[in-house]
Structure 1
Amino acid sequence: MEDDAKNTGKTQPSISTSRRKLLKSAGVATLGLVAAPDLLLSRVARADSRHPGDVPKKAVQYQDTPKGNQTCSNCRAFIPGPTPSAQGHCTIVAGKVSPQGWCSAWSKASS
């Protein structure tokens, strides 16, 4: 095979170069796998806190009306207002939300 490379004037990549590329790719992939859970966990941890969220309503398809029996008031991320019918906040969605609203981040509140 070396003779073929000499005859054509082309050089073949060395095994160490290929190994180096493989190890670099594996390192980048590993870093991504390590970082991704931390990013997701921070979002989940923030959703479990009782502080208003920062995700735009449009990004989660927020609407002021329920979707079936799914409402903000029975979602685990809902922070109630001063009265049951008053607007509250959400640990995920930015701004005030209606207790009768809904968004794609809805998750049933634990009983």
Structure 2
Amino acid sequence: MICTSCGLENSDDQRFCNRCGRKLQSSFTIPDMDGEEEGPAVTRLRLEMLGLSRLAIGKFLEAWAYALALLAVTLWCGRNELYWPLYVIVPVLGLMLWRRRF
């Protein structure tokens, strides 16, 4: 078994890592990529190993979309010297982001 914390390879009968002492997870294995073609399953497996999922990537992209929208509105307001829309958009955007947390 391979420790998920430090990466040390331990024997299969051990319950704790020899190096860091963390509990070993029996289902964690590093897949053999020799001769295996790239595809959706391999990409998904690599993302799961990195701790990323579709939901996490989707939330990341959504956060960037909100940030870019706010930046665009701010630049437009600054260019036109019209600042009152920011008093409406910033709290609404903040409430939308706060609501997405739950």
So what's the TM-score if we normalise by structure 1?
0.30
In the superposition, the TM-score normalised over structure 2's length comes to 0.32
Q: Which structure features the higher share of helix residues? A: 2
